[in-house]
Structure 1
Amino acid sequence: MKKLGALLLAAALVMSMTACGGGNKNTGEGTAAPAGESSTDAGTKAGESGGEKTLNVGTINVLGTFMPGSENEVCHWGCYLVYDYLFYYDEDNNPFSDILKEWHYEEDGTTFVMECRDDVYFANGDQMTGDDVLFSIKTLVDRETNQAAYYATVDWDKSYVSEDGFTVYLANTQEFGPGIINMGVVYLLDQSWCEETGFDNIDPWLNAPNGSGPYEVAEYVTDSYVTLKRRDSYWGEFTGADTVKINHYAEDSAMYMALETGEIDLALNIAESDYSRALTDDKIAVMTTHEGENILLALDNNNQYMKDENVRLAIAYGVNWQDVAESARGELAEVPGSIITSVSPYYKDTGVYEYDLEKAKQYMEAAGYVTDGSTVNFTLNMTTVDQAVKTNAATVIQFYLQQLGINLQMNFTDFPTAFSAWLTEGGTDLNFQDSDTGSVCGEPYISLRFFPAELATFPFAAISDETFVTLYKEANYTTDDDVRKEKYAELQQYVHDRAMIIPLYESVDAVAYNPEKIESVSLHSAVSANLRYVILK
């Protein structure tokens, strides 16, 4: 049951068009915070004036728990404050760590070495050691979380901590380019506290999580708000707000109104309509961030009709993808030039499929179908979750496919029903696809791992094409970044030329804030605002 629960959550996140952190560096030494100084010094600042500083934040997402990898939703925006984490990225997209002094691969490219600082302490006074770092990673696998698949190449039996307790050797069964740096956020956990507390009792993970970060939970009111207070015993230097209060709102409009009235200072992931309003309001500032992935349209390459490359190309050129993107994201719509996000170091602009009805009809005719405007050549079905962003996009796709004699039957339903269809061969012929985490700098493995047939969870996304699978493996199972770039460039072009996957739109989010109180916002995360990097006036 636990494994199924984790799978259900993973699938829900996969299809919900949300994302979280990642990275892009594979080898060599990284940038660590100097001893006795936290990199967050340059992040959140409460100003030099006296008086307590409070940052009020609004979100429409559930508040969640402070248990990383939980089957319940995780309060990422709060976790970034309560916990430290292995890696994040600076403004130049370089990996950074507050809690590690240095990291590198050994010469064989399979063993990743992390040297820990010896002055990091958890809120209960426990000192961080390499055992805590190794535990923080391994527990994601042991608990069968939705991040477990990211560490499939780790050889846990050969991974160990040095005798002095501060160097971690993470062994892999083979070279793996994305590596731990790129595999999303790994929150630092206190092994002894976790083993004593357990993961079954949720209360401590709501009201008193034991992190090493600058904040601790002061009050948690379910479905209402969570208040975080600066802790005096924080091991590093930090000059953020004294109090951060994260408020939950049931609707986007209510959250945005709270920003307009001054109830909150920062609104996370605002709706497209509110983004448009904010652009014309000089009392509200907005910023956007790429989440490090593209929302894709998975075409069942094994479907009796779409296994024909000509049919897939007809779909690619027969739909106005700009219309699709705008129907889903409004002014935030960005049609991608590749299956890989433009913020990725591995991105190649293979070009947008420009709408060309005549060209699309030629491909349909090459596949043996007529395009006289009245003949229905065949029917495809789409089963997906009943959410506006999906129903809007699907309806536009349906309209354009009709012009090619393709009847798209749509079934918008609840998640359990949709999930059952996704797991069934032929349960849906095409569907929206994005990762469950995203990547702050666009690590392709995060979003493309759903497609090779041997890895795919859902039949509609599985691609067994030998060249596709080979290029995918060559791009990932090496730590040579030049090889990764070369193979990913080939893969992107190969997929584009055969319309195996259709890029729909870049995953972009927007936040709005009060510029009279907040100087600037820097997300440093693809999942939501990392509130460490909100600079107060």
Structure 2
Amino acid sequence: MTTIRKVAPVALAAALALGVTSCAESDRSDEGGGSGDGGTFTFGAAGAPEMFDPFYATDGETFRVTRQMFQGLLGIKPGTATVQPELATEWSADEAGTTWTFQLRDDVTFHDGEPFNADAVCYNFDRMFDQNEAGQVAGEYWGYVMGSFSNDPEGSLYKSCEATGEFEATIEITRATSGFPTMLTLDSLSMQSPKALEEGDANGIAAEGEGFSFPDYAFAPVGTGAFKFGEYDEANGTITLERNDDYWGDPAKTSELVFRVIPDESTRRQELEAGSINGYDLPNPADWSGLEDDGNEVVIRDPFNIFYVGLTPENNPALKDLKVRQALYHAIDREQLVQSQLPEGAAVATQFMPEAVKGWNADLAAYDYNPDEAKQLLADAGQEDLTIDFAYPTEVSRPYMPDPQALYEAIRANLEDVGVTVNVKTASWNGGYLDNVTAGKYDAYLLGWTGDYDSADNFIGTFFGNLNSNDFGTKAYPWGAQLSQDLKDADAIVDEDERAARYEELNQQIMEDYLPGLAISHSPPALVVGPGVSGLTQSPLTAEQFDTVEVGGE
């Protein structure tokens, strides 16, 4: 069985403090026991997964499913963005920060009964590193965090993995970085059964048309998680996962986990009201109160995202002028946007990362809404008649962008008020919009980012550190290469406080001297569960685990 997917843009970098040693026990085994009374938890998904091999996945709807089946060496503590042990119980680094030793759990088996051990860890890393040409394009997360694959070892962060004991794996990287080992929490770097990978020809991916054809393994995945793959009924848009009764931690509270693909948000609400699903993600903020009045629980996540207007100066040379970019920023009434279009708890952004991330600069003030200043700046730049192709996505709701069209229309009206001519461009999220952003086809566009974990580099390093990305067009500016290098240098600072101070300086430079894009807001996204559902812990990373969820009576 094969399927095709189009290439979607993913910009991933990684970071957190480079600790010399980290050791703790997972919280999983301390949160109660027992498998509950079984039953089924049915979740309304906004989109269909591309396939089920997390290494090639790039979108949230795929990861929502795969993270229930797979685990990494490191995990994220539920309800936080904090790293905790998962399949590794402790880890340590040498003084150079390039040789990392992981002590592994000795009580884990894959869903196919194969043992999890150091040999399995190294098989996985070597498998991810050794990709064919199509796999190197599809395995975007590895490319962003590791730099390159086995055909370019000099450009790679990953060097080698050795089983230095049955339950001890030693991983060598080529340089110190704040991103390692935190990047091992990424769903794409999850551990998979070597036997199943080999038998399913997991690396047999091929380019086909504008996308890829995937091997059989991508539709029969084998991990170590609390749920295992059951069935994908593509025609009816349902994915069924079954409880893993041999799970090393507390068994899942339900015997079955079902995802029903329901693209329209209002239809998801109707299905919840009818009782045919037990929950869904990203309810419209205008519906929160009504949902709660009907006996549902609206679970509000902490804001850990950024909504922005991206700019492509290669497409429109006028955007290369800082005065023009400043004019666009002053033209947008962001305070009114937050109050009228976003849920309670949303805030105007002063920089391209949320306040919770270390390196956030508390001294930066928000650009004020000043139409007169915007008009003057356009005049000073000789751009009183500026025209831009400005795009927004359809058929999507994102944590930072609950209603793309409504947000777009508000920003468009602001820009037209200062004399900017806006050519409206639009496409469906997975039907061309993301591809067009990657290809640099829009002068300006709406997009955003939810952090993968607590890391300045995961935000501004992702946005402005990659000169090969069309996002923000950093390469088009004379300072682009210097900013990219400055971000790389900041990432390599070992001392956490020193690194945070450097990121604060860079945030100030980005907002005051460079302004590659327009940071708009941070928003607290929600999900909703129906009556009788308990045990769901929100994730600021929108990376909820469903093994603790129980479904009972009202």
Amino acid in structure 1 at the alignment position of 2:199:
E
1:230-269 per-position Cα deviation (integer Å, ceiling 9, x unaligned): 2322233335222222222242222212222332222223
The reply to whether residue 511 of structure 1 matches residue 537 of structure 2 is no
Q: By how many angstroms is 1:161 displaced?
A: 1.2
Moved more, 172-181 or 523-532: 523-532
Aligned partners of 1:323 and 1:396 also within 8 Å: no
- Distance of 1:452 and 1:364 partners within structure 2: 28
Alpha carbons of structure 1 residues 240 and 387: separation in structure 2 relative to 1, 3 Å: closer
Report what 2:147 is aligned to: 152
- Distance of 1:391 and 1:115 partners within structure 2: 49
Q: After the TM superposition, which residues 196-207 of structure 1 pair with which residues of structure 2 at under 5 Å, given as runs?
A: 196-199=199-202, 200=204, 203-206=216-219
The reply to whether residue 134 of structure 1 matches residue 122 of structure 2 is yes
Amino acid in structure 2 at the alignment position of 1:382:
F
The reply to whether residue 9 of structure 1 matches residue 7 of structure 2 is yes
The reply to whether residue 405 of structure 1 matches residue 419 of structure 2 is yes
Amino acid in structure 2 at the alignment position of 1:160:
C
Aligned Cα RMSD in Å? 3.4
Alpha carbons of structure 1 residues 357 and 156: separation in structure 2 relative to 1, 3 Å: closer
- Distance of 1:157 and 1:305 partners within structure 2: 40
Q: By how many angstroms is 1:333 displaced?
A: 4.5
Q: By how many angstroms is 1:397 displaced?
A: 2.4
Report what 1:289 is aligned to: 301
Aligned partners of 2:438 and 2:469 also within 8 Å: no
- Distance of 2:15 and 2:517 partners within structure 1: 23
Report what 2:163 is aligned to: 162
- Distance of 1:440 and 1:65 partners within structure 2: 24
Alpha carbons of structure 1 residues 429 and 157: separation in structure 2 relative to 1, 3 Å: closer
- Distance of 2:233 and 2:413 partners within structure 1: 45
SS of equivalent residue, structure 2 residue 304: strand
Aligned partners of 1:380 and 1:406 also within 8 Å: yes
Q: By how many angstroms is 1:421 displaced?
A: 5.1
- Distance of 1:453 and 1:182 partners within structure 2: 17
Select the residue among 216, 219, 225 that pairs with 1:213. 225
- Distance of 1:235 and 1:187 partners within structure 2: 16
Amino acid in structure 2 at the alignment position of 1:102:
E
- Distance of 2:16 and 2:147 partners within structure 1: 19
SS of equivalent residue, structure 1 residue 216: strand
- Distance of 1:168 and 1:464 partners within structure 2: 44
Report what 1:17 is aligned to: none
Q: By how many angstroms is 1:140 displaced?
A: 4.0
- Distance of 2:361 and 2:354 partners within structure 1: 9
- Distance of 2:537 and 2:301 partners within structure 1: 9
Report what 1:121 is aligned to: 109
Q: By how many angstroms is 1:320 displaced?
A: 0.7
The reply to whether residue 82 of structure 1 matches residue 74 of structure 2 is no
Q: By how many angstroms is 1:39 displaced?
A: 3.2
Moved more, 381-390 or 499-508: 381-390
Amino acid in structure 2 at the alignment position of 1:430:
A
Amino acid in structure 1 at the alignment position of 2:500:
K
Aligned partners of 2:201 and 2:217 also within 8 Å: no
Number of equivalences: 510
- Distance of 2:245 and 2:438 partners within structure 1: 50
Amino acid in structure 2 at the alignment position of 1:170:
I
The reply to whether residue 534 of structure 1 matches residue 549 of structure 2 is yes
Amino acid in structure 2 at the alignment position of 1:342:
E
Per the normalisation by structure 1, the TM-score is: 0.83
Aligned partners of 2:64 and 2:544 also within 8 Å: yes
**Structure 2: any 5+ residue segments left out of the alignment?**
149-154, 205-213, 397-402
- Distance of 1:453 and 1:93 partners within structure 2: 24
Alpha carbons of structure 1 residues 138 and 511: separation in structure 2 relative to 1, 3 Å: farther
Aligned partners of 2:393 and 2:446 also within 8 Å: no
Report what 1:95 is aligned to: 83
Amino acid in structure 2 at the alignment position of 1:353:
Y
Alpha carbons of structure 1 residues 411 and 226: separation in structure 2 relative to 1, 3 Å: closer
The reply to whether residue 177 of structure 1 matches residue 191 of structure 2 is no
- Distance of 1:89 and 1:301 partners within structure 2: 37
Q: By how many angstroms is 1:512 displaced?
A: 0.7
Report what 2:211 is aligned to: none
Alpha carbons of structure 1 residues 330 and 205: separation in structure 2 relative to 1, 3 Å: same
1:16-42 per-position Cα deviation (integer Å, ceiling 9, x unaligned): xxxx99773431433443xxxx63234
Moved more, 24-33 or 240-249: 24-33
Q: By how many angstroms is 1:210 displaced?
A: 2.0
- Distance of 2:455 and 2:289 partners within structure 1: 26
**Structure 1: any 5+ residue segments left out of the alignment?**
15-19, 370-375
Q: By how many angstroms is 1:157 displaced?
A: 7.7
- Distance of 1:507 and 1:65 partners within structure 2: 29
Select the residue among 410, 435, 449 that pairs with 2:462. 449
Percent of aligned pairs sharing the same letter: 18
1:394-452 per-position Cα deviation (integer Å, ceiling 9, x unaligned): 33222222233322222223567656754667x432223435x7314355335642424
Select the residue among 387, 406, 410 that pairs with 1:379. 387
SS of equivalent residue, structure 1 residue 160: strand
Select the residue among 29, 32, 52 that pairs with 1:66. 52
Q: After the TM superposition, which residues 323-338 of structure 1 pair with which residues of structure 2 at under 5 Å, given as runs?
A: 323-325=336-338, 329=342, 333-338=346-351
